[in-house]
A and B are shown apart, each in its own frame.
Chain A
Amino acid sequence: MPTDADEKAAASAAATQTTQRAQQRFWRSIEDLVDAAHPAPMRSSMLSIDIPLHGRREFMKLMAASLALTGASGCSRPPLEKIVPYVHGPAQSSYGKPVFFASAVARDGYGTGVLVETNMGRPTKIEGNPSHPASLGATDIFAQASVLELWDPDRSKVVRQANAISTWRSFLTALSERMRALKQRHGEGLCLLTESVTSPTLYAQLQTLLERLPKAHWHQYQALNRDAAYDGARFALGRSVETRYRLDRARIVVALDADFLDGLPGSVRYARDFVAARSLQSNSTLHRFYAVESTPSLTGAQADRRLALPARQVEDVARALAARLGLGVAVEASTSIPADWLDAAVADLVAQRGQCLVIVGERQPATVHALAHAINAMLGNVGSTVVYTAPVVASPINQLASVSTLGTAMRAGEVDSLLMIGGNPAYDAPADLDFVAALERVPFKVHLGLYDDETAARSDWHVPAAHALETWSDVRAFDGTISIQQPCIAPLYGGKSAHELLSALLGDAPDSAHDIVRAHWQAQRRADDFSAFWQQTLHQGLVADSAFSPIEVSLRRDLGAALAPPSARRGEIELIFCSDPTIGDGRYANNAWLQELPKPLTKLTWDNAALVAPALAQRLQLANEDVVELRLANRAVKAPVWITPGQPDHTVTVALGYGRSRAGSVGNAHGFNANALRTSTGFWFTGGVELVKTGQRYALASTQGHDTMAGRDIVRVLSREEAIACKDRGPGAKDTLFTLYRALPTSEYAWAMSIDLNACIGCGACTVACQAENNIPVVGKAEVRRGREMHWIRVDRYYQGAPGTPRTLFMPVPCMQCEHAPCEVVCPVEASVHDAQGINVQVYNRCVGTRFCSNNCPYKVRRFNFLQYAQDVPTLNAQRNPQVTVRMRGVMEKCNYCLQRITTARIAADKEDRRIRDGEVVTACQAVCPTGAIVFGDLNDAGSAVNQRKASPLDYALLAELNTRPRTTYLPKIIGAAREIDRSGRAGDAAPLARGCHG
């Protein structure tokens, strides 16, 4: 790309001397290096394989060339500045070995500490940072997939002016001209639009800008904002605070439309705390979990008492709770909230004063948040289960108001220059703002973004943003902990960070992001210990003790009176918006891993759908994949229907993030754009939507066609009493079925896995982590519809009970590594064989693809490359794990317990002449699991964690009656007290309760 190179040259001319020197030492591509060394014809002959050799000279020449190439291919581009590896030795001695760098990735502004695995300078995998409070070693799906985002070939690669290729230097020239005029007007007419800012450096830069240009305006908007939470806090507590929950201290939890296991900032940490508090080992400090939900979520799936209500009725629940607790709040009279649910919840809350917790989700209006603050205060939970801290978002204004103000100003022609730093408002701003039309009134529009997206196309200038893994920045986590984001690779396409753009805007010397971030932190610290601090911070992945400490707040006394009276709107269908479970607000739309990751509950891939309750579907005579027109006032969108058990009646939920037109080759033309119905008055939910059947059909790709267990013993469900009784009985002798097969040869190690179904929340992080670790290809929607998805570990979702109020069960299913593997006996070419460590390995280069193994696998965990799924795209190749083969078409593949990790550990152990220690081998799925549901280890090590799990009398093998003797076994799902369950009206499919206890 000539412009790119020009621009780089231009940039380097202006850069510091260090940068210049570094520039000379690195090359941008193999071609650069080879070009310099050899003329073109030579190169082409070098690269072809079958060259006739005419003697020693040619041979030597070729050897020299191939050695040079080896060197060239071994080199990638580390960033120019010094970066600090996390665990292993210095980068220089790491050829062929991965190096981990501590950094952070953000989801909707909130950071999670991660360790970025780099192989020869290429970031290939994300692991959680065990010392980071939001991670504790785990991550969510978005962090896992961020590495694919980095290598996405559809990312914006060049600066564009009016959609024509331009350069950063031309942009700087245009910008400085603009700024000269703006400075004279003290910034009048200049507007900045950012997403939620949690970066201290960026915030400082913005403050500086606003100081220098006092008449400039800074607006914030992101589609998934936390307006209601901050507004609620301001209303009830008088100031913007961050509400943090201590699930480890809570005995009773009531969640009001709050998806704290998957949606709230810090959900990875919350999930860990929640599951730890619910486990049998902890004697279940968390007794009961009540959830009210307007849309089925992973959180609701864990509830002991789940109540499905339209979103607008959640306020009624909050009011009723508050009223019953004596808060003097007006209650909607004709409320239809089940009294027994309320009675039970109130009784439990009162009984566990100070140790209970009410959580409210982002979707609920400020009133509900305020009520929750009041209830928590009244129950004495503040300081124990609820902690208030300073807001994580640097300037927690109401973003909806902010973007509306901006829209108005734009339409009025008051905005002369608009800088959009991140975000995609042309796609996701509220529909009533008509942001696209408003943009046209602005003469100078700049967009900084990872993609040449809907907003970029409508901007005068688009600057490609540097990815979080290729630039410097800093970010706060849900508890305020700051991480310095350090790049693991130089910007692939010369992308710029927000810091660099702002620095350019300020007219400062064109610093690199590194210098800006470092300078900011240097200003915060004493000079003498700074380099030690910097080193330590980068090494640890977080700024020590930077978490916010709790603050004292006081609840306003007249809360009950100050609240608006409850409104009664009934009998109409409610439209609910939600963040898409896998692609969020659309920013991950071009991420194929996330597109193909089944949505945890619907198991849909590649599309969003209008989720309706079975009862509503029956009334409107809708079937799955029927296209309905969702009509709301004068807006309408066509959407396919997906019948979702557990969805409240009289509601339709639509996920944001789809219907993108300029997401990229992966994300375009999937699903429908729910933003077209989302207005600033009905931002999260609104009544009065009409579903009009169109008679059309739209094909959806779901990975699971059957929702019940068909009465089979698959996910075992035990009540807490049963489980404890069973445990107390101690380990019984497990039945060993007779077999004709000889025992297989064993070795020093016997690898095995245990999956605790009671800990699994069904988030699907294991699936994405496995995909990243094992080079698993993406197959696309059409292939998923054919049932050809390639995930080595899938999360099965089953429903029990009535379709309207089901119990949702999750079961991760990797390869069982059967000791008597049915796949092995039927393979004619010995491609499916057992190794001495007990792993059922697949020999890819021996496989001819009879697929008999898959037919004979009762768990159906084998995956076949029906077509050439692994793409040969240079950047995507760069993401691949060099320790794992990329499979060609016609080859069977499957989970092998991350054999490459076992081998790495074994080599290390052999060198030190010792056994592999317990916990030394961590599989990708185990590492990423937020709740520690997966434990992996050696059965020959008596003290290993996996042996401890398997010693439990509750441990069971899936389809044990087939005598496959799986090495992967399960611990049952344990549900609240049996009495409670009966009261909640569980129906049918009760068989598993009777089974499940050995001995």
Chain B
Amino acid sequence: MVSEESLSATPVLAGHYSPASITDKIADIVLERPTHWGWVVGMAVCAALTIVFLVAVSYLFARGVGIWGVDQPVAWAFAITNFVWWVGIGHAGTFISAFLLLLRASWRTSINRFAEAMTIFAIAIAGLMPILHLGRPWFFYWLIPYPDIMNLWPQWRSPLIWDIFAIGTYIIVSILFWYTGLIPDLATLRDRAAQRWKQLAYGLFALGWRGEARHWQRFDTAYLLLAGLATPLVISVHSVVSLDFAIGNTPGWHSTIFPPYFVAGALFSGFAMALTICIPLRAVFGLKELITARHLDNIAKLALLCGLVVAYSYMSELFMAFYSADPYAIYMTLNRIEGPYAPVYWAVILCNVAVPQALWFAKVRASVLSLFAIALVINVGMWLERFMIIVTSLHRDFLPSAWGMFYPTVWDVATLVGSLGVFALLFLLFVRFLPAISMSEMRKLTRKKTLRRS
């Protein structure tokens, strides 16, 4: 029987590691360890899915968005759902690495690096989606303010422009933050690499890091400042994304609860994705001593917390629809619950509200398998939630004559599945070429642990 206390008491670093041995362990994954067959299989699958994605995108560019199921009145569907979902996934990474850094939560140390990588890959894919969904994607840069010869600027009132800035800022800050944190590790890899080209490559990106005290002092300041910059983004980015909908007058979108609701949802899906990634990662690369049950427990608790905020938002939406006495909002709500897309609504409730309640139990959080299963369920649930918000609001709005349905096509599915493949492919490449766990921070942790013991 796993008790709440024993789970909380699990150390964030198991085993007996010295700074040197932990560096060995992590660096070996990149430099020494022979290629694991699981990685190869994973790469093969992901490469296949990436090809699916490329084919889907090429066909899209050749024919137009009509290859998807979007229509009138449902002019947005899978692409925007994917966009919101992928952006949301990024949030947990930033939360773990920046927010928890500011809070000095030492348990973040072994998971922040891959969580940040997850963020960057997720935003990269998220950023693609709105471009793919454009009718004329080759003109996507018209959304960016640039000095064109007609003196024409974007339309600042459109939330899509705010989006460009929010996502743009987010991806720049995320990359900077991630890269800054990587510099000492890149130097370590440079020093340990046996082949010349690896030394050169890592050396180039290590920016001449020599581990001087001055370096460390500046590094710590810069890292902290970047964390300070990144932390508000956790709140702002998804708030802005939510305004894409909240600014609209469509019943089901036009709601002031959207910013916090979306942020909570984003973190919820992000933590779920962090679990989805780190559980196989620690198994395949033997990192169970570095990423312990304590980490999983903490992430699960955070997911539970976010899940509760999301559940509250669902209830609030229900309540507000009826409290507002707006017939359109009431109809929209009832239509979600009992209309043609009711299965989606109930799946969302099941995945995002009912199933995560299992996380109250220490036993569930201690079981890696059940955590993994719940994380997958939440991932699916959060995707469906975004689909529900977008499609069920649009498909029946004001004039019944204009009501319609959305049915996805094979290309919708190919784009979604393909994007998952691209994400996983990038991640698999990341774990082989960069340290998935921060060596410099882990060394600090071992030192702290030694100090505490002595």
B217 to chain A, nearest CB (A): 44
* Contact A866/B248 with A846-B142, A890-B136 known, Cβ cut-off 8 Å: no
Q: Indicate if A383 sits at the interface (CB-CB under 8 A).
A: no
Q: Across the interface, name the chain B residue whose C-beta is closest to A704.
A: B401
Q: Report the Cα distance A867→B160, complex, angstroms.
A: 23
Q: Indicate if B405 sits at the interface (CB-CB under 8 A).
A: yes
Q: Indicate if A892 sits at the interface (CB-CB under 8 A).
A: yes
Q: Which residues of B contact A708 (CB under 8 A)?
A: 400
Pick from B28-36, B149-157, B261-269 the stretch touching chain A. Answer: B149-157
Q: Across the interface, name the chain B residue whose C-beta is closest to A959.
A: B398
Q: Report the Cα distance A707→B402, complex, angstroms.
A: 10
Q: Which residues of B contact A787 (CB under 8 A)?
A: 71-74, 404-405
A988 to chain B, nearest CB (A): 15
B140 touches A848 (CB 8 A): yes
Q: Indicate if B256 sits at the interface (CB-CB under 8 A).
A: no
Q: Which residues of A contact B159 (CB under 8 A)?
A: 826
Q: Which residues of B contact A868 (CB under 8 A)?
A: 63-64
B141 to chain A, nearest CB (A): 9
Chain B 210-249 interface 0/1 with A at a Cβ cutoff of 8 Å (1 = within): 0000000000000000000000000000000000100111
Q: Which residues of A contact B65 (CB under 8 A)?
A: 849, 866, 890
A797 touches B142 (CB 8 A): no
- The CB with the most chain A CB atoms within 10 A, among B155, B164, B403, is that of B155
Q: Indicate if A855 sits at the interface (CB-CB under 8 A).
A: yes
Q: Indicate if A829 sits at the interface (CB-CB under 8 A).
A: yes
A783 to chain B, nearest CB (A): 7
B398 touches A867 (CB 8 A): no
B95 to chain A, nearest CB (A): 28
A826 touches B399 (CB 8 A): no
A860 touches B73 (CB 8 A): yes
Out of A789, A811, A890, name the residue touching B64 (CB < 8 Å).
Answer: A890
B247 touches A825 (CB 8 A): yes
A714 touches B399 (CB 8 A): yes
Scan residues 59-89 of chain B and give those whose CB is less than 8 A from a CB of chain A: 63-67, 69-76
Chain B 377-407 interface 0/1 with A at a Cβ cutoff of 8 Å (1 = within): 0000000000000000010011111111101
Chain B 134-170 interface 0/1 with A at a Cβ cutoff of 8 Å (1 = within): 1111011011000000001011011111001000000
B400 touches A710 (CB 8 A): yes
B66 touches A788 (CB 8 A): yes
B397 to chain A, nearest CB (A): 6
* Contact A825/B75 with A786-B69, A848-B143, A859-B402 known, Cβ cut-off 8 Å: no
Q: Indicate if B250 sits at the interface (CB-CB under 8 A).
A: yes
Q: Indicate if B327 sits at the interface (CB-CB under 8 A).
A: yes
Q: Indicate if B331 sits at the interface (CB-CB under 8 A).
A: yes
A889 touches B66 (CB 8 A): yes
Interface residues on A, range: 35 or more
Q: Which residues of A contact B72 (CB under 8 A)?
A: 787-789, 854, 860, 862-864
User: B interface, by DSSP: helix, strand, loop or mixed?
Assistant: loop
B261 to chain A, nearest CB (A): 19
Chain A 330-372 interface 0/1 with B at a Cβ cutoff of 8 Å (1 = within): 0000000000000000000000000000000000000000000
Q: Across the interface, name the chain B residue whose C-beta is closest to A848.
A: B139
Q: Indicate if A813 sits at the interface (CB-CB under 8 A).
A: yes
Q: Which residues of A contact B404 (CB under 8 A)?
A: 705, 787
Chain A 714-758 interface 0/1 with B at a Cβ cutoff of 8 Å (1 = within): 100000000000000000000000000000000000000000000
A619 to chain B, nearest CB (A): 26
User: A interface, by DSSP: helix, strand, loop or mixed?
Assistant: loop
A860 touches B135 (CB 8 A): no
Q: Indicate if A850 sits at the interface (CB-CB under 8 A).
A: yes
A876 to chain B, nearest CB (A): 20
A743 to chain B, nearest CB (A): 16
Out of A711, A829, A860, A888, name the residue touching B154 (CB < 8 Å).
Answer: A829
Q: Indicate if A865 sits at the interface (CB-CB under 8 A).
A: yes
* Contact A783/B401 with A828-B143, A848-B136, A852-B248 known, Cβ cut-off 8 Å: no
Q: Indicate if A878 sits at the interface (CB-CB under 8 A).
A: no
A825 touches B400 (CB 8 A): no
Q: Which residues of A contact B244 (CB under 8 A)?
A: 852
Q: Which residues of B contact A826 (CB under 8 A)?
A: 157-160, 247-248
Q: Indicate if A47 sits at the interface (CB-CB under 8 A).
A: no
Q: Across the interface, name the chain A residue whose C-beta is closest to B397.
A: A858
Q: Across the interface, name the chain B residue whose C-beta is closest to A868.
A: B64
A864 touches B75 (CB 8 A): yes
Out of B71, B154, B394, name the residue touching A788 (CB < 8 Å).
Answer: B71
A786 touches B158 (CB 8 A): no
Out of B134, B247, B398, name the residue touching A848 (CB < 8 Å).
Answer: B134
Q: Which residues of B contact A811 (CB under 8 A)?
A: 401
B158 touches A860 (CB 8 A): no
Q: Which residues of A contact B75 (CB under 8 A)?
A: 851-852, 854-855, 864
* Contact A855/B154 with A849-B134, A860-B73 known, Cβ cut-off 8 Å: no
Scan residues 839-887 of chain A and give those whose CB is less than 8 A from a CB of chain B: 846-852, 854-856, 858-860, 862-868
Chain A 751-788 interface 0/1 with B at a Cβ cutoff of 8 Å (1 = within): 00000000000000000000000000000000100111
Q: Report the Cα distance A822→B248, complex, angstroms.
A: 8
- The CB with the most chain A CB atoms within 10 A, among B69, B130, B397, is that of B397
A737 to chain B, nearest CB (A): 13
Q: Which residues of B contact A851 (CB under 8 A)?
A: 70, 75-76, 133, 135
- The CB with the most chain A CB atoms within 10 A, among B143, B158, B247, is that of B158
Q: Which residues of A contact B133 (CB under 8 A)?
A: 850-851
* Contact A854/B400 with A711-B327, A847-B136 known, Cβ cut-off 8 Å: no
B70 touches A830 (CB 8 A): no
Q: Report the Cα distance A858→B248, complex, angstroms.
A: 10
Q: Indicate if A706 sits at the interface (CB-CB under 8 A).
A: yes
Q: Across the interface, name the chain A residue whose C-beta is closest to B162.
A: A828
A858 touches B399 (CB 8 A): yes
B400 to chain A, nearest CB (A): 4
Q: Report the Cα distance A611→B164, complex, angstroms.
A: 51
Q: Indicate if A796 sits at the interface (CB-CB under 8 A).
A: yes
Chain A 486-508 interface 0/1 with B at a Cβ cutoff of 8 Å (1 = within): 00000000000000000000000
* Contact A859/B327 with A787-B404, A828-B158 known, Cβ cut-off 8 Å: no
B398 touches A813 (CB 8 A): no
Q: Across the interface, name the chain B residue whose C-beta is closest to A860.
A: B402
Scan residues 355-396 of chain B and give those whose CB is less than 8 A from a CB of chain A: 394
* Contact A859/B399 with A826-B247, A829-B143, A864-B75 known, Cβ cut-off 8 Å: yes
Q: Across the interface, name the chain B residue whose C-beta is closest to A714.
A: B399
Q: Report the Cα distance A958→B405, complex, angstroms.
A: 23
Chain B 395-431 interface 0/1 with A at a Cβ cutoff of 8 Å (1 = within): 0011111111101000000000000000000000000
A869 to chain B, nearest CB (A): 9
A825 touches B158 (CB 8 A): yes
Q: Report the Cα distance A159→B155, complex, angstroms.
A: 59
Q: Report the Cα distance A888→B65, complex, angstroms.
A: 13
Q: Which residues of A contact B142 (CB under 8 A)?
A: 828-829, 846, 848
Q: Report the Cα distance A164→B72, complex, angstroms.
A: 46
A706 touches B403 (CB 8 A): yes
B147 to chain A, nearest CB (A): 15
A891 touches B136 (CB 8 A): yes
Q: Which residues of A contact B76 (CB under 8 A)?
A: 851-852, 855
Q: Report the Cα distance A827→B142, complex, angstroms.
A: 11
B160 touches A866 (CB 8 A): no
* Contact A706/B401 with A848-B139, A890-B136 known, Cβ cut-off 8 Å: yes
Please provide the 4 A-B residue pairs with the shortest distance between their CB atoms, ordered closest to farther. A849-B135, A890-B135, A866-B66, A867-B66
- Besides A705-B405, A712-B398, A890-B137, 11 more A-B contacts (Cβ < 8 Å) are A710-B331, A712-B399, A826-B159, A849-B135, A851-B135, A855-B73, A855-B394, A859-B399, A860-B402, A892-B135, A959-B398
Q: List 30 A-B contacts (CB under 8 A).
A: A706-B400, A711-B327, A714-B399, A783-B66, A786-B407, A789-B72, A796-B401, A796-B402, A825-B247, A826-B159, A826-B160, A826-B247, A828-B154, A828-B164, A829-B139, A847-B135, A849-B65, A850-B160, A851-B76, A851-B133, A852-B158, A852-B248, A854-B72, A856-B249, A858-B399, A863-B72, A865-B64, A889-B64, A891-B136, A959-B398
